[in-house]
Amino acid sequence: MILEDERAAVCEYARRLTADGLVVGTSGNISVRAGDLVAVTPTGVEYTGLTPADVSVVDLDGNAVEGELKPTSELPMHLTVYTRATDPGGGLVSAVVHTHSVHATAVSTLVDEVPPIHYILASIGPTVRVAQYATYGTDELAESMLAAVAGRRGCLLANHGTVTFGETLGAAYDRAQQLEWACRLWLTARAVGSPQLLPGEEMSRVAEKLKGYGQSDR
């Protein structure tokens, strides 16, 4: 079985999507790139029982390489990230996470850009844009998403959900969680008043500071 490790990782994180409340049912999807191949969740399959053999493998043109199940309907969006998006830090984009998380989706219906309620948003970019709405699974949605992630590592999809990506699946997933948390924070604060927001200069300062975050010797 090709991409065995990548397919196993997709299964692990797909199950986490449900456990962490970032999706319901079979919504949302995950992919991991290895060279010119992509391991991606299949469409319409419950994640709780997902096995590595269930995970589809396609090439960067979307052609099936291995796996009996059809890949996610959002494959155009995943492939657009891998072939046309860039990491603002210059890293190789190796994983994409798409969620239908409740608070982030709610925010996507209210604003054109996620308000800078917390510095953690700088892990995605100087701002987090909301991509214009387009029907799910279409090239139009992929193009809208691509415009929104320019110079960033993710975005909200209007009336739909979120997309985040990174050099590793862990990094892409962490950003999805952080984005949902920040959106929940903003909605909570906004429900009782007018929250103080961070200025753009501070968000840029934090983005630079985050480049050296963590244990560099690991």
Active-site positions read: 74
Count CA atoms closer than 13 A to 49's CA, side-chain side: 3
- C-alpha distances out from residue 132 to 5, 47, 54, 137, 156, Å: 35, 28, 32, 14, 9
Q: How far apart are CA 98 and CA 81, in angstroms?
A: 11
Q: What is the C-alpha radius of gyration for the chain, rounded to an integer number of angstroms? A: 17
- Residues paired with residue 157 on neighbouring β-strands, in sequence order: 131, 161
Instruction: Give the closest residue to 176 by CA, choosing from 50, 55, 13, 11.
Output: 13
